[in-house]
Amino acid sequence: MGAALPDSFPAPDLAALAQALGPLAPVFDIRWWEDCDSTNAALLEAPPEDDGKVHVLAATRQSAGRGRRGRQWLAWPGGSLTFSALWRFAPASSAPAGLSLAVGLALARVLEKLGVAAVALKWPNDVLVHGAKLAGVLVELLPGRRTTPAAVIGIGLNLRLPVDAVIPGQAGGVTDLAREMGEPPTREHLLAAILAELHPMLATYERTGFGLLRNAWQKRNAFANLPVQVSGEGTNIAGICLGADEDGALLVRTAAGVRRIFAGEVSLRPAS
Ligand code: BTN
């Protein structure tokens, strides 16, 4: 994996970021902190006022990055792109189902445009390359009875992991962008590319739900038609992975018929 990481990092170039976003720049309010416990936690604890913009918080270092299922998200300063975006949906729209899948799809498209080969999606939130985890998505809904549903969309993407990086709990291993494409773009360009892909995709998602994005997700399903095991929250199901349903639920064909599984706290892995 990547070489040793530098000790210090230049301040993020927000002007370059705005330039890379071009006409989309005014849509976003982007902060980039040097240090943060978790960008998801920061936006959830103190959500910025709704001024019509999409609020984005990136951090060079995260001391308590959160992953799914109560796991820690390990990142190394300068070795990862870690950020969260507070997305507000149209008033009275229903709770966003399948949102993390839509976000994973946007990430996959960005990576493919960069020339990364063999990008695949693991339900509900992992982006894999050749079976190894490159990026993860953590969607957390803003609590409370809001008329405007809002979600904090957290993304962690490995850019250049240290040679001795150990990330437990990843059966397929981990990878980084430097390994998959050579010299990765700057973190500012990468963030701009992801936000530019997310923006129209989430507009589609908001209008139609996950349904219109489903085919594109299915094409990238890492376990399509393969035997899988789903476990957690009292669930233990073995069957053939049929991918995602219109609402983002996982479909598994079992001996007792097709089961629908909602994200919850379950984990999916290839059957041994
Ligand atoms: C996962 O794969 O389990 C999800 C990982 C999500 C990590 C990102 S890093 C930026 C944002 N802030 C967090 O604390 N977590 C997400």
Residues 213 and 188 in one domain: yes
Proportion of the chain above pLDDT 70, given as a percent: 93
CATH number at residue 235: 2.30.30.100
Average pLDDT rounded to a whole number, residues 90-118: 90
Could you give the number of structural domains in the chain? 2
Contact 205, 105 (CB under 8 A): no
Substitution candidate for ligand 1 out of 66, 81, 123 with most atoms within 8 A of CB: 66
Q: Which atom from ligand 1 is nearest to the alpha carbon of 71? A: 3
Length of the chain: 272
The set of catalytic residues is: 68, 133, 269
Q: Which atom from ligand 1 is nearest to the alpha carbon of 59? A: 10
Neighbours of 203 (CB within 10 A): 10
Average pLDDT rounded to a whole number, residues 83-106: 88
Of the candidates 262, 212, 270, the one whose C-alpha atom is nearest the C-alpha of residue 234 is 262
Mean pLDDT of the chain: 90
What DSSP string describes the chain? ---PPPS--PPP-HHHHHHHHGGGGGGEEEEEEEEES-HHHHHHHSPPP--SSEEEEEEEEESS-B-GGG-B----TTTEEEEEEEEEPPTTPPP-TTHHHHHHHHHHHHHHHTT--SEEEETTTEEEETTEEEEEEEEEEPPS--SS-EEEEEEEEESS--TT---TT-TT-B--HHHHHSSPPPHHHHHHHHHHHHHHHHHHHHHH-GGGGHHHHHHTBTTTTSEEEEEETTEEEEEEEEEE-TTS-EEEEETTEEEEE-STT-EEEE--
CA of 125 from ligand 1 middle (Å) equals 10
Grade residue 147 by pLDDT with cuts at 50, 70 and 90: low
- What pLDDT sits at residue 145? 62
Residue 5 maps to a domain: no
In this predicted model, which residue has the larger pLDDT, 218 or 79?
Answer: 218
Given a cut of 70, is residue 186 above it in pLDDT? yes
Domain's final residue, options 217, 233, 250: 217
CATH number at residue 142: 3.30.930.10
Contact 39, 47 (CB under 8 A): no
Grade residue 92 by pLDDT with cuts at 50, 70 and 90: low
- What pLDDT sits at residue 89? 86
Residue 64, CB half-sphere, CA atoms under 13 Å: how many? 6
Residue-wise pLDDT for 217-270, tens only, equals 999 999 999 999 998 777 788 999 999 999 999 999 999 999 999 866 567 778
Domain's final residue, options 217, 242, 257: 217
Residues 137 and 184 in one domain: yes
Residue 3: both structure tokens together: 């070489």
The Cα 233–Cα 28 span in angstroms is 37
The Cα 84–Cα 55 span in angstroms is 8
- What pLDDT sits at residue 135? 97
Q: Which atom from ligand 1 is nearest to the alpha carbon of 75? A: 9
Residue-wise pLDDT for 149-180, tens only, equals 899 999 999 999 988 777 777 777 899 999 99
- What pLDDT sits at residue 2? 47
The domain containing residue 201 runs over which residues? 14-217
- What pLDDT sits at residue 170? 75
Residues 158 and 54 in one domain: yes
Residues 54 and 168 in one domain: yes
Strand order in the sheet with 150-158: 28-36, 54-62, 80-88, 150-158, 132-141, 126-129, 119-122
Site residues for ligand 1, CB cut-off 6 Å: 38-40, 62, 65-68, 71, 73, 82-84, 125-126, 136-138, 154-156
Contact 250, 229 (CB under 8 A): no
